[in-house]
Structure 1
Amino acid sequence: MAGAADLFLPADDSFLRMARESGLVAEVLPIATMRCGLVVRRGNPLGIRSVADLLRDGIRLVQANPDAAAVGKVSRQVLTKQGIWDAVNAATDGFRTTVNDVANDVEVGAADAGIVYDVVLYGRPELEFVDVVELEGATSQVSMGVTTACSQPAAALHFARYVSAEDRGLEEYRRQGFVVARGDLWADIPELSVYAGSMLRPAIEDTITAFEQREGVRVSRSYNGCGILVAQMKSGQHPDAYFACDVEFMKQVGDLFGPATDVSQNELVILVPKGNPRRIAGLQDLTQAGLRVGIGHEKQCAMGWITQRTFAESGLTTKIMENVTVQTPTGDMLVNQLRTGSLDAAVAYLSNAAGSAEFLDAVQIQGLQCSVATQPWAVLRQSRYPRLADRLFQRIRSAESQEIFAAEGFRWQLSESPAKP
């Protein structure tokens, strides 16, 4: 709270949640988990096998202070739910400042048993860890947080990435008995690759640039029609993350990626020159004789695929396609041709019109549900940097990013509130 720390490494991530809620911590990098149990002398001379045994006469029990130490807080929560905390609390001979102090007391014979994390016994051959059913659910997630007061976030994150790297810091955590999840592979300056539908570029580009600067990493982005991106992925080019223009194109490569999260929606509209000189009010009007219409290419982008579905639902496919003079892989190309007078109308996303309000009007397509595209995000199952990709996604789903999406014509889909930065 004094703003003096760059990094915060508590023994339980509940303290990180408190810090984030108070605006003291930004990024959180998961590292490992620990489990609670009992510590006794090697050989367990008093036969302590359960929490109930701690209540026997003559058993000297010590604990870490539950108001200050993570192990005490976690074990108190679990035992309280079982209705046995009050008895254990009354049987406790003393509360220590840290979990290490508890282990020390048992090691030197000042106590018979204590409640500790399993990893505290590493390098202590005189002690023995006892798994007990009452503390089965008492585990702690160890994570490292970068503080919001940090004046060197790229340097702090560089160190945090090293500590949480699969082939660096996590090797030491494993050696000392921690249970670790899969981490990123180490790279001094990792390069994260992202494929994204071209319509998403104005909504995410500034966010990605800010992420690169804060993290001290590189993000290689490829913006294109989703049909083109899917073809590249099917030919063997696999990005670390994919932000698709519509769920249909995520499904086509779903076997490559983990669970997808729907982030936003974009509405298909009819774009016309300012003032709407041809008085276009709906799809039927795109059948006017001599009208020059532009649409997305069905095979190259989600916009084209959804456009064809929308035409089919309206029953006007044949008549409208007679007026189609151009099919492009991106909506930006259609906007450019409208602005130069090469087209009289174009079917594109509402977001394509963002920034062109003084030149174009958007006509809503009424009554057709298929005219809305949903944009999902997913991380490659075999990515070298899944944690880094997750942190980028946290930035994309932040409140600041949500405002950019709205300004660019997208509707936000994520139901839960974005994490505080």
Structure 2
Amino acid sequence: MSRRLGSANNGLLVAVVSLVAVAGLIFLLSSGGDAPTEVQPAGNGTDNPKPDAPVQPTDSTSTKKLVMYCAAGIKLPVEAAAKAYEEEFGVEIQLQYGGSGTLLNNLQIAETGDLYLAADTSYIEIARQKKLLHEAVPVGRLRPVIAIHKDNDKGIKGLDDLLKPEVNFGLANPDAASVGKATKKILTKMGKWEEISTACKVFKPTVNELTSAVKLKSVDAAVIWDSQVNLHSDELTMIHVPEFDAATKQVTVGVLKWCKESVAALRFCRFMSAPSKGQQYFTQFGIENIGGDEWSESPELVLYSGGVNRLAIEDTVKAFKQREGVSVKTIYNGCGILVAMIKGNENQPPDAYFACDASFMDDVQSDFRPPLTISDTDMVVIVQKGNPMRVKDVKELTKADLKVGVANAEQSALGELTKKLFLQIKLDDSNLYEAVQGNVRVQTPTADMLVNQVLANGLDAAIVYKANVASISEKLEIIPIRTGNPKAVQPIAVNKASKHPYLAQRLVEAITSAESRERFLSHGFGWRVPLPSAN
């Protein structure tokens, strides 16, 4: 009888076990069972829940219990971190263990719980594609290795030695365990999967079971996570494979879409990833540290943002603060002023910077991680309602007695872009920048000041961003600029010196979400972030 995976009888058995396991899981969760439970392997779930908006969070101080699905191979550090968290905050973390793939299949059916920790971030991505979770926080790194017992004398030094007739080796089920999925992916890329999987006599649903098999010498070798060998270094030794070493996997915990305790759930995620808190347990149990955020029960982020972005992001920032249970101090101003603040205050840098235009990110790029371009907006001419001065084109800003307002080129991206644009526009004997100077009445640090003066009839015309006036377009006239390159693009980046880079990155993710995209579009911005694949 063949022992390879995928036979019809095995598929039927797995499906039956899946239904029993899920029924038991639902019972445990509904009855509030106290003890951590090993979840049995289950078949592939087919449910694909419709995307939901995040559940409104409750006050974290009232939270008494969180339910977490945890990859079996990460049991020990998570168990230790959960115990420490409960002792400090009085919140029980009820842990349900199983293979990463098995847990993912089961939670789709159960549709309950708060957190899902996978030993391979690819399962988190699958969960996101299926609209099963929102935020994701890395907590450690793993890599596959060949594990053998220290007493093994069969000369196993690499992958090819596993194929020796006298070697009995094991692999993790790629449909149930993250290390199995990673192994299959790497070996397939190497062109070795078919040969090695065919020769394999033992498949296990979890990395813990494979580790036990090597320790008990029921197999000569197995491909498991390096953390397992680190944990049992008195009995086991690891053999590195270059292709495995190059495929480091990230242990990641995600907040499930039906979690009603987002503040408490995300606080536990931050606790696990903090070097002074949960990370010490991951290191203790052989898992590589990810260098997480500095611990704070209620951290504060500082966000510098160009004034043009304010209307598009302020609701997103407010929702982020409420969902995470954190503070975000947002400073809006002209980007020239913000750049000067960044350069002049290196001891208290912002955690993130959202520029009005890429040119004002370039000035401080060395202080920040690679930027992501979020949006764009066109520069336009605005005039009073009814256009009493009959301005039809940007070149007509040189009309006699026209009162014109522009942004200050030293203080704002809009001013710098306006100056560059006007220098590009050639007139008969000069350029627009030189010709319009006689009509310029004010140069302000932000576009809002220019809009207000046009509305109050203090200016006849001004150069602003389309995004500045999208919500009040019925109160004035907007004239497109069809000459030169009248477009600004808005990048955002996390500061290299931030004490909370992962939290800051989640803020960036909130600003690039589908909900945020709609806010940007409604305020006259174009959208530059690629839409997620439908597959």
Matched, 1:104 2:212: yes
2:269 paired residue among 160, 166, 185: 160
Structure 1, residues 79-101: CA drift from partner, whole Å, max 9, x if none? 22323223322322222221111
Q: Tell me the residue number matched to 1:381.
A: 496
Query: What SS is found at the alignment partner of 1:289?
Result: coil
Query: What SS is found at the alignment partner of 1:357?
Result: helix
Query: What SS is found at the alignment partner of 1:38?
Result: strand
Structure 1, residues 365-385: CA drift from partner, whole Å, max 9, x if none? 11211x211111111111101
1:300 paired residue among 406, 411, 423: 411
What pairs up with 1:2-401 in 2 under 5 angstroms?
2-124=110-232, 125-133=234-242, 135-236=244-345, 237-314=348-425, 315-369=431-485, 371-401=486-516
The whole-number CA distance in structure 1 between the counterparts of 2:171 and 2:532 is: 37
Shift of 1:397: 1.0
The whole-number CA distance in structure 1 between the counterparts of 2:167 and 2:351 is: 55
The whole-number CA distance in structure 2 between the counterparts of 1:134 and 1:91 is: 20
CA distance 1:241–1:134, change in 2 (3 Å): closer
Structure 1, residues 151-175: CA drift from partner, whole Å, max 9, x if none? 1111100000111123322232223
Task: Give the unaligned 5+ runs of structure 1.
Answer: none
**Matched-pair contact (CA < 8 Å) for 1:50–1:134:** no
The whole-number CA distance in structure 2 between the counterparts of 1:131 and 1:118 is: 9
Shift of 1:133: 4.3
**Matched-pair contact (CA < 8 Å) for 2:170–2:201:** yes
> Whose helix proportion is higher, 1 or 2?
2
Query: What SS is found at the alignment partner of 1:58?
Result: coil
**Matched-pair contact (CA < 8 Å) for 1:398–1:419:** no
Query: What SS is found at the alignment partner of 1:356?
Result: helix
TM-score under structure 2 length normalisation: 0.75
What percent identity do the matched residue pairs reach? Answer: 41
Q: Which moved more, 1:229-238 or 1:340-349?
A: 229-238
Shift of 1:280: 0.4
Query: What SS is found at the alignment partner of 1:166?
Result: coil
Shift of 1:180: 2.9
**Matched-pair contact (CA < 8 Å) for 1:303–1:348:** yes
The whole-number CA distance in structure 2 between the counterparts of 1:12 and 1:317 is: 56
Shift of 1:418: 4.8
Structure 1, residues 101-149: CA drift from partner, whole Å, max 9, x if none? 1111121222221111111123321121122346444442211111111
Q: Which moved more, 1:241-250 or 1:188-197?
A: 241-250
CA distance 1:272–1:104, change in 2 (3 Å): same
Structure 1, residues 188-215: CA drift from partner, whole Å, max 9, x if none? 1110000001111001100110111111
Shift of 1:312: 1.6
Letter in 2 for 1:417: L
**Matched-pair contact (CA < 8 Å) for 1:51–1:134:** no
Query: What SS is found at the alignment partner of 2:338?
Result: helix
The whole-number CA distance in structure 2 between the counterparts of 1:31 and 1:152 is: 20
The whole-number CA distance in structure 2 between the counterparts of 1:413 and 1:63 is: 43
CA distance 1:334–1:191, change in 2 (3 Å): same
1:405 paired residue among 501, 520, 529: 520
Task: Give the unaligned 5+ runs of structure 2.
Answer: 1-107, 426-430
Letter in 2 for 1:332: D
CA distance 1:61–1:307, change in 2 (3 Å): same
Query: What SS is found at the alignment partner of 1:9?
Result: strand
**Matched-pair contact (CA < 8 Å) for 2:377–2:525:** yes
Query: What SS is found at the alignment partner of 1:322?
Result: helix
**Matched-pair contact (CA < 8 Å) for 2:136–2:254:** yes
**Matched-pair contact (CA < 8 Å) for 2:383–2:478:** yes
CA distance 1:305–1:81, change in 2 (3 Å): closer
Query: What SS is found at the alignment partner of 1:47?
Result: coil
The whole-number CA distance in structure 2 between the counterparts of 1:182 and 1:123 is: 20
Shift of 1:233: 1.3
Letter in 1 for 2:395: Q
Aligned-CA RMSD value: 1.7
**Matched-pair contact (CA < 8 Å) for 2:349–2:497:** no
The whole-number CA distance in structure 1 between the counterparts of 2:434 and 2:192 is: 74
The whole-number CA distance in structure 1 between the counterparts of 2:262 and 2:230 is: 32
Say how many residue pairs are matched.
Answer: 418
The whole-number CA distance in structure 2 between the counterparts of 1:103 and 1:199 is: 56
Structure 1, residues 278-311: CA drift from partner, whole Å, max 9, x if none? 1101122212222111111111111111111122
**Matched-pair contact (CA < 8 Å) for 2:150–2:235:** yes
The whole-number CA distance in structure 1 between the counterparts of 2:184 and 2:465 is: 54
The whole-number CA distance in structure 2 between the counterparts of 1:24 and 1:304 is: 45
**Matched-pair contact (CA < 8 Å) for 1:399–1:418:** no
Letter in 2 for 1:66: P
